Structure 1
Amino acid sequence: MTQARAGQRVVVLGAGMVGVACALSLRQRGLAVTVIDPLGPGAATSHGNAGVLARSSLMPFNHPGLWAQLPNLLRGRNPGFRYHPLWTLGQWRWGLSFLAHAREPVFRETTTALDALIRHSGTVHRRWMDAAGVAQRRRDDGWLFLYRSEAAFAAGAFGRETLARFGVATRVLNAPALHDLEPHLKPVFPRTLWVQNASAVDSPGEVVRGYAAWLQALGGVLQVDQAQRLTRAERSWTVHTSGGAALPADHVVLALGPWSRDFLREQLGLRLPMGFERGQHRHFHPSPGASLNRPVYDTAGGYVLAPMAQGLRLTTGVELNAQQAPPNREQLEAAERAAREAMPLGERTQDPDWLGSRPTLPDCRPMIGACPGHAGLWLALGHQHIGFSTGPGTGELLAQLMLGEPTTIDPQPFSPGRFLRA
């Protein structure tokens, strides 16, 4: 491992939440940081999420209960999960590894690691939002898991027990208590779990852009360009871009989200076991007189509805498919139908429907650390659907590793060496 020191040049590839967070953490430690991204900050995957910052996100999709759910999931009857059969068969190695990690020992390791990363990120988020002037975008009144039947609520006992084990503050609500909290939800939810120590923002993309503006005020450089090629000479790297630039760097941080897999294979011949949890969103005007105070997750409908600056944002669950496959609006249309059963939605806004990919590794943990066999190359990728919640903690952990500082959280569960070899 080649450690960094103040004054050295770092090029960060990717300007989503994770890339910008890495750049901020490094710049605050005195490194000369340049971030490059073809779309600019917060314009891709970081733009499209539900904006929730919650410790309840420590629950990975491949938990031990997945085995019992698998027959129903494969039949395609779960509105929160869709898959493309041919693509999924082509990714059988990733799929088998993903299922192999749905065991109790791995689950405990993953939840412990993710909880530490999310908690650390929450602390840093609050500090950074104040410093970047975007704290007004945050609400701290939690979010809701909605259940359409007592049986569905009972089936969620494992998740609630896990949250309780980690001390996540929750409260179970009956229908009248839910009405007091969210009076414009329709009376179709007899039970609700209120995750109380959670926050949400009204525009994830604007928060990332606020962080990027703060980075530039601190002397960091942001370039709208695309990395096409990496070359190594002696002890330094050169990042060649589609715009014709050749950026020298003592260190390179790869934070390209779902584009990381192909980039590593094409540039370095590394095979990253990454799948894509694709998701979509659509915005609606609230019906006159109706409002939503916090994000809600309809566990039966498989969607999240969140109040945003753009209106009410409806986000879908998971679709396993190729990253570049054309949009399939069936899941989004089904989510809209279910949401209209729960909330008086108005007309769609003029914003186009959005599609993005959440990059997922087989154990549902990101890679944070040095790339094996490639001195000066660092990885911050594979954050599945919680990159917005875990970005600042990732940036801080990566900077601590790069500069040889004591780490705030245990880095071992996030080591790139668990899937990549020198």
Structure 2
Amino acid sequence: MRDVLVLGAGMAGVGAALHLQSRGWTVALVDRSAPGSETSYGNAGIIQGEAVEPYAMPRDLATLFAIALGRSNDVHYDVRALPHHVGPLLRYWWHSSPRRHRRASEVYAGLIAHATAEHDALIGEAGAANLVDRGGFRILYRTARAMDAAAAAAERLRARYGVRSQPLSAATLSALEPALKVTGEGAIHQLDAWSIRDPGRLVAAYAGLFRRRGGSLVRGEAETLTRTATGWAVRSADGPVEASAAVVALGPWSPELLRRFGYAFPMVRKRGYHRHWRSGRGLNLPLMDAANGYVMAPMVQGTRITTGAEFAAPEAGGMPVQLLRAEAAARELVDLGAPRENTPWIGTRPCMPDMLPVVGEAPRHRGLWLHFGHGHQGFTLGPTTGRLLAEMMSGTPPFVAPLPLRPGRY
């Protein structure tokens, strides 16, 4: 019998569960929380069809000095927490060399090419089209030099990968986004992306589709995963749940669970924040303020501001330095109004040092499959790599080569 426990009900877990289900597996989707209420809830809500190159670690001295001195809002760190991060970050640095990054980008682009199509099928079946805007998003540049560099980079991506974008003058941007008080030197409109007005609700809609197809949503604790004589089991509120296979799709919590089984995955954990504001006249599409390292996105809850990467101790409390800076910069652009929440949301992006997700069977445990480490693009790629995982588990030809994503590379 082909039955499986999928641990984690974020976009990666739900995407895998749906694809396994469509291939005849009996699937129990296990999480301690409701689907889409953890990391998949807290992003900028963009399905990034343009993100063909993963985020490399900066290697130029000017950018590194800006980060080290706290002058960049893209990255913030607590110096006391660096011992927790130095090992994975050194490997991230090594993989960010131009040659290695090009190699990773070839694999990444092959996945990203399928992202919107995989979502499109699920959006239609889940009845979630009301959450989706297919008009892309925009990146605002405050100086002519930055705008010229961005236009050149966009042309390179068009020539190499076919990524569609459009440069917008300041006047055109103002006409498209009347809420903007300042339009800088213009923007690059990324045309291959879709925006979602409530990311958590989209994951919940996919989970609803999974349940309507006959799947089981189980409230349980993934850390209780144990090996049995016939497969794998976890404890739930209603007792043990067993299956012949298990999928670990726990995002930033995956390495901790797998350490119990003798695996050491050197994950780069980048914390991020968001908060909503009761803006009056909001934006039509998400807008990234490139100079200040944040994204403003129109959401059901209001205008959401999401931040860049923070490196903190694993259990450290919130340090919303980046969010405060982003709010100040955003108020120069729009009338934000008052915040909706008393405190910001905090989540962690699960990034692997080679910038590629982990997809495949655990090297030393038959029936234990891994599906995590999507970095900044778990929301974008969950259904795509979920399809790849389901094909591998079902013994059907995979639609992309899985070898670069194999868990054994670590």
TM-score over 0.5 for the pair: yes
Q: 1:88 aligned to 2:79?
A: no
TM-score by length of 2: 0.95
Looking at structure 1, the residues matched to 343 and 39 of structure 2 have their Cα atoms a distance apart, in angstroms, of: 15
TM-score by length of 1: 0.93
The one of 291, 309, 314 aligned to 1:300: 291
Secondary structure (helix, strand or coil) at the match of 2:295 reads strand
Q: What RMSD over aligned residues (CA atoms) do the two structures have, in Å?
A: 1.7
What is the Cα deviation at residue 246 of structure 1?
Answer: 1.9
What is the Cα deviation at residue 69 of structure 1?
Answer: 2.2
Amino acid at match of 1:303: Y
Please give the residue correspondences for 1:275-314 in structure 2 after superposition, counting only pairs within 5 Å: 275-287=268-280, 290-314=281-305
Amino acid at match of 1:398: L
The one of 263, 268, 279 aligned to 1:270: 263
Greater mean alpha carbon deviation, residues 398-407 or residues 225-234: 225-234
Greater mean alpha carbon deviation, residues 93-102 or residues 321-330: 321-330
Secondary structure (helix, strand or coil) at the match of 1:286 reads coil
Amino acid at match of 1:204: P
What is the Cα deviation at residue 92 of structure 1?
Answer: 1.8
Q: 1:186 aligned to 2:181?
A: yes
Residues 225 and 234 of structure 1: CA distance in aligned 2, closer, same or farther (over 3 Å): closer
Looking at structure 2, the residues matched to 98 and 341 of structure 1 have their Cα atoms a distance apart, in angstroms, of: 34
Same amino acid, percent of matched pairs = 39
Q: 1:126 aligned to 2:120?
A: yes
Whether contact under 8 Å (1:58, 1:114) holds in the other structure is yes
The one of 200, 205, 217 aligned to 1:205: 200
2:53 maps to which residue? Answer: 59
Looking at structure 2, the residues matched to 381 and 184 of structure 1 have their Cα atoms a distance apart, in angstroms, of: 38
Whether contact under 8 Å (1:59, 1:159) holds in the other structure is no
Whether contact under 8 Å (1:368, 1:415) holds in the other structure is yes
What is the Cα deviation at residue 228 of structure 1?
Answer: 2.7
Looking at structure 1, the residues matched to 122 and 132 of structure 2 have their Cα atoms a distance apart, in angstroms, of: 12
1:407 maps to which residue? Answer: 398
The one of 370, 373, 376 aligned to 1:382: 373
Whether contact under 8 Å (2:6, 2:248) holds in the other structure is yes
2:227 maps to which residue? Answer: 232
Secondary structure (helix, strand or coil) at the match of 1:253 reads strand
1:341 maps to which residue? Answer: 332
- Please list every run of 5 or more consecutive structure 2 residues that lacks an aligned counterpart in the other structure: none
Secondary structure (helix, strand or coil) at the match of 2:204 reads helix
Looking at structure 1, the residues matched to 372 and 154 of structure 2 have their Cα atoms a distance apart, in angstroms, of: 28
Whether contact under 8 Å (1:365, 1:414) holds in the other structure is yes
Amino acid at match of 2:146: A
- Please list every run of 5 or more consecutive structure 1 residues that lacks an aligned counterpart in the other structure: 1-6
Looking at structure 2, the residues matched to 329 and 63 of structure 1 have their Cα atoms a distance apart, in angstroms, of: 22
Structure 1 moving runs of 4+ over 6 Å: none
Q: 1:169 aligned to 2:164?
A: yes
Amino acid at match of 1:41: P
Residues 111 and 55 of structure 1: CA distance in aligned 2, closer, same or farther (over 3 Å): farther
2:210 maps to which residue? Answer: 215
Spell out, residue by residue over 1:72-111, the C-alpha distance to the aligned partner (whole angstroms, 9 max, x if none).
2222210121012222233222111010011122211222
Secondary structure (helix, strand or coil) at the match of 1:56 reads coil
Looking at structure 2, the residues matched to 322 and 383 of structure 1 have their Cα atoms a distance apart, in angstroms, of: 21
Spell out, residue by residue over 1:370-391, the C-alpha distance to the aligned partner (whole angstroms, 9 max, x if none).
1111110000001111111001
1:43 maps to which residue? Answer: 37
What is the Cα deviation at residue 71 of structure 1?
Answer: 2.1
Whether contact under 8 Å (1:380, 1:398) holds in the other structure is yes
